[in-house]
Amino acid sequence: MWHSCIATELDQNNSMLARVSAKPDSPWFSGHFPDDPILPGIAQLSMVTEVMRTAFGINGSLESVSRVKFKKIIRPDEILDIEIKSDKKEYNYSFKITSAQQEVCSGRLVLIPHKGATSTL
């Protein structure tokens, strides 16, 4: 895996908080940019969905993203907190990534379980 999950916490309201860090040897950093590595936005969204799949036990696919805002550059080994909340509409979630209590990225996404897959939600 190209990132490390340091801790994950779920609550009874189907919300979660995960602490993660992007490994400096991740291929995302080598191509973006070689002399000034930053984590691309698509990698941030991938990290959120991977954490969700693991924490919520969802075997599914990302169907859509909306209202995504990228506000801060992420560097290798930076500690990130990912907060994910289940919305009222089924399979819809809002998320926020922070670093040192500064918002890095936020948005909404839809993660649909594969047919026949079970979920812990």
* pLDDT digit string, tens, across residues 42-68: 999 999 999 988 887 888 899 999 999
Decide if 121 is inside a domain: no
Decide if 120 is inside a domain: no
Contact criterion met (CB below 8 Å) for 97 and 106? yes
Mean pLDDT of 97-114: 95
Average pLDDT, the chain: 89
Q: Which domain holds residue 32?
A: 3-113
Instruction: Note the pLDDT of residue 95.
Output: 97
Instruction: Note the pLDDT of residue 119.
Output: 46
Decide if 27 is inside a domain: yes
pLDDT(120) > 70: no
CATH of the domain at 97: 3.10.129.10
DSSP per-residue string spanning the chain: --EEEEEEEE-TTSEEEEEEEE-TT-HHHHTS-TTS----HHHHHHHHHHHHHHHHT--EEEEEEEEEEE-S---TT-EEEEEEEE-SSTTEEEEEEEETTEEEEEEEEEEEEPTT-----
Mean pLDDT of 16-38: 89
**Count of structural domains, the chain:** 1
Higher-pLDDT residue of 96 and 5 is: 96
Percent pLDDT > 90 in the chain is 58
Decide if 102 is inside a domain: yes
Decide if 71 is inside a domain: yes
Decide if 118 is inside a domain: no
Decide if 25 is inside a domain: yes
Decide if 119 is inside a domain: no
Mean pLDDT of 62-83: 96
